[in-house]
Amino acid sequence: MLLLKKLHKWVGLFIGIQVLLWLLSGLVISLLDPVKVNGRQWASPVVTEPQYIGPTALLEPAELPTEYLKDALSIDLTIQHGIPVYLIRHSDGEHLVSGIDGSLVTFESFDAQKLASQDFNGDGEVISVERGMAPDMETRNHSGAYWRVNFSDKANTAIYISISTGKILERRNSYWRVRDFFWMLHIMDYAGHKDFNNPLIITVALVAIWLGLSGFLLLFGSFNRHDFFFLRFPGKRDDVVITLFEPGVTGPRKVVLRRGSNLFLSLATHGVSLPSICGGGGECGKCRVRFEVTDLPDASGIDLLLVPKRLREKGYRLACQQIVENNMTLHLSEGTLTPPD
């Protein structure tokens, strides 16, 4: 039971910290403006692509180069940035092929800078353009090469544009990064920041269930029939007299305690503070008192663990493990008793 109590305490501390992180992260996430988080506050209104005006002779899908058609999942003719293109989807991403000459359409850094500048209407200018490969932490829901266009605004906006399609993949900023950090804490996915059902959070949930079950067992183990004195019929108080001796103190001191109460806690209410670190939790073994042989109770399991055998044989027991049953005489360590007024 002592081992279970120690495990319960330390596991409870761990779960308590995690619950605090859940509450804190949930609070921060709820307070952040979702419009600022997704960057749409600084996004220009969507402009419908103009219809293509030019030669009407466009390539048929079957006329496109075979290397672009191989293993294609879908082929759609669309207008992208003023020109007719085929959007070809493969399992590893999307590609644009010109509907006029069948050439592969790609977007260079200056194209990405232009597209990002058209999309961003916040207070800032382009300060750099970087090439990268998705997925990474800020483009984890995409794949393929991209341009990252960084702006000088206070929110540190970065717009990600696909090199193969010219699409805006993501708009990221400081609000999103703060939210992403606390979302990581909330779901406990410290690597990917997106898996709500990761093994760690499942493990913590199972540990929390164990914590509740062990606490239920410890709750029943900490009670005895005397703790339910409030269920007794009204009548005369059932008290016992405890006689206390301390080296260097002339004469004994007597205190009256309620039968069935905890010896450690009841003595404390009468100004008799026994040494303790755990506050009577049965973990430190400091609240030792010596019983007269005629009053000596049986050693509890915690007494056997925390009180050396040679002291138990002399009549020492832990006060926090004793229930007041009968009149008894105790010998305390020097300096324990508070001198009576």
Predicted pLDDT at 222: 61
Task: Tell me the C-alpha distance between 205 and 167, whole Å.
Answer: 40
Task: Tell me the C-alpha distance between 44 and 22, whole Å.
Answer: 35
Q: Where are the domains of the chain?
A: 2-32+185-220, 40-172, 239-331
Residue 120 φ/ψ, nearest 5 degrees = -90, 125
Mean pLDDT of the chain: 86
The model's pLDDT over 56-104, given as tens digits with 9 standing for 90+, comes to 678 888 888 888 888 889 998 888 777 888 999 888 788 899 888 888 8
Query: Is a pLDDT exceeding 70 seen at residue 340?
Result: no
Predicted pLDDT at 71: 87
Task: Tell me the C-alpha distance between 140 and 143, whole Å.
Answer: 8
* Residue-by-residue DSSP string for 83-129: EEEEEEEETTEEEEEETTT-PEE---HHHHHHHHHHHB-SS--EEEE
What is the pTM for the complete model shown? 0.64
Cα–Cα nearest to 39, from 166, 115, 151, 133: 151
For residue 34, give the 3-state DSSP assignment.
helix
Fold of 239-331: Ubiquitin-like (UB roll) (3.10.20)
* 97 CA to centre of own chain: 47
Q: Any idea which of 51-65, 164-178, 202-216 has the lowest mean pLDDT?
A: 51-65
- The token duo for 125 is 């200018």
Exposure string of 161-194, with b = 16+ CB inside 10 Å and e = fewer, is: bbbbbbbbbbbbbebbeebbebbbbbbbbeeebe
* 324 CA to centre of own chain: 43
Cis amide leading into 135 (omega within 30): yes
- The token duo for 105 is 């359409």
How would residue 168 be classed by pLDDT, with cut points 50, 70 and 90? very high
Cα–Cα nearest to 11, from 211, 166, 248, 287: 211
Q: Which parts of the chain fold into alpha helices (H)?
A: 2-31, 34-37, 66-69, 109-119, 174-187, 199-221, 263-268, 301-306, 309-313
Four-residue CA torsion sign, 25, 26, 29, 31 = negative
* 49 CA to centre of own chain: 46
**Within 10 Å of residue 44's Cβ, how many Cβ atoms?**
11
Residue 336 or 190, more confident = 190
Cα–Cα nearest to 176, from 196, 198, 199, 160: 160
